[in-house]
Amino acid sequence: MIGQFRFSDRPSSQHVVVWMEWLDGLPAARVEAPGHVSAQLEEMNMDHVVGTMGLEFALGYGVMIAALARTRLTLAGDVSAWPAEWGRLSHSQSFRDGMIQSGLAH
């Protein structure tokens, strides 16, 4: 198990989102970042990687840019692409639902 990650059918536009899918029979994903995260990457002389890549690379990249930008990471897309041996996904219908489940909403 590598960790516990949040999955949402409707991720927040303010999160770094790893969109999971299948590509040629292999788990893949693309990473989307909100504008403020892309701007922070530019300030650090880093380019935001665009396009589909292997899921393991997309997850690592998503974690890295979310950590650098101090923002949340959410997984979305085809949940069947997530390898069970990597750990459990916490499911929420929306960002607000996830906040309620985690006790962050007031």
- What is the phi/psi pair of residue 96, to 5°? -60, -45
| Backbone φ/ψ region at 64: left (φ over 0), alpha (ψ -120 to 50), beta | alpha
Bridge partner residues of 60 (DSSP): none
Instruction: Indicate the number of domains in the chain.
Output: 1
Determine the residue type at 12: S
For residue range 53-84, what is the model confidence (pLDDT) as tens digits? 999 999 999 999 999 889 999 999 999 999 98
What pLDDT does residue 105 have?
43
What is the domain range of residue 90? Answer: 5-102
Confidence of residue 21 (pLDDT cuts 50, 70, 90): very high
Q: DSSP assignment, residue 25?
A: T
Yes or no: say if 56 and 20 are a contact pair by the CB < 8 Å rule.
Answer: no
Query: How far is Cα 28 from Cα 78, in angstroms, rounded to an integer?
Result: 10
pLDDT band at 15 (very low <50, low <70, confident <90, very high): very high
pLDDT(102) > 80: no
